[in-house]
Amino acid sequence: MIATLTGTVSEKLGELVILDVQGIGYGLIVTTADYGSAAPDKSTKYYIYEHIRENAHDLYGFSELDAKKLFEQLLGVKNIGPKAAMAVLDIAAPAIVRASIANGDVKFLQTAKGVGRRAAEQIVVELRDKVGAAVTEGADTIVHRAGVQLHDEAVEALVSLGYSPQDATIALDKIDQELPIEDRVRMALKGVR
Between 61-70, 75-84, 98-107, the lowest mean confidence (pLDDT) is in 98-107
- CA dist 165 and 144 (Å) reads 16
Residues 77 and 127 occupy one common structural domain: yes
- Same domain, residue pair 129 and 73: yes
Average pLDDT over residues 37-55: 90
* pLDDT reading at 140 higher than 70: no
Residue type at 99 in one-letter notation: A
Residue 88 has pLDDT above 80, yes or no: yes
- Mean pLDDT in residue range 47-67: 92
Give the CATH number for residue 42. 2.40.50.140
Do 132 and 76 sit in the same domain of this protein?
A: yes
Please check whether residues 122 and 69 belong to one and the same domain: yes
Q: Give yes or no for a contact between 117 and 86, defined as CB atoms under 8 angstroms apart.
A: no
Amino acid found at 22: Q
> Are 131 and 88 part of one and the same domain?
yes
Residues 69 and 92 in one domain: yes
- Predicted local confidence at residue 138, as pLDDT: 40
Would you give the DSSP letter of residue 96? Answer: H
Q: Confidence band (pLDDT; 50, 70, 90) for 163?
A: confident
Residue ending a domain, choose from 39, 62, 85: 62
Distance of CA 85 to CAs 17, 82, 88, 163, 178, Å?
18, 5, 5, 20, 35
Q: Choose the most confident range, by mean pLDDT, from 26-30, 95-99, 170-174.
A: 26-30
For residue 168, what is the domain's CATH number? 1.10.8
How confident is the prediction for the chain on average, in pLDDT?
A: 83
Domain boundary residue, one of 117, 137, 157: 137
- Asked if 70 and 116 sit in the same domain, the reply is yes
Strands (E) in the chain, as ranges, are: 4-13, 16-21, 24-29, 43-52, 57-62
Domain containing residue 13: 4-62
Same domain, 126 and 156: no
Query: Contacts for 66-71 with beta carbons within 8 Å, 24 or more apart?
Result: 66/94, 66/95, 67/31, 67/34, 67/94, 69/134, 70/94, 70/97, 70/98, 70/131
Q: Where are the beta strands (DSSP E) in 33-190?
A: 43-52, 57-62
- Helix, strand or coil, per DSSP, at residue 65: helix
**Residue 118, number of CB atoms within 10 A of its CB:** 11
Q: Are residues 132 and 155 in the same domain?
A: no
125, 80: one domain: yes
**Does the pLDDT of residue 147 top 70, yes or no?**
no
18-45 pLDDT per residue, tens? 999 999 999 999 998 899 888 888 889 9
Task: State residue 134's pLDDT score.
Answer: 43
Number of domains in the chain: 3
The per-residue pLDDT for 188 is: 81
Please report, for the domain that includes residue 131, its CATH number.
1.10.150.20
Q: Say if residue 130 is in the same domain as residue 70.
A: yes
Instruction: Choose one of 47, 62, 77: the last residue of a domain.
Output: 62
Claim to verify: residue 132 and residue 69 sit in the same structural domain:
yes
Which carries the bigger pLDDT value, residue 179 or residue 65? 65
Q: Which residues share a beta bridge with 9?
A: 19, 40
Confidence (pTM): 0.67
CB hemisphere CA count around 21 (13 angstroms): 12
Residue 135 scores a pLDDT above 70 = no
Q: Name which of 9-23, 30-44, 162-176 the model is least confident about.
A: 162-176
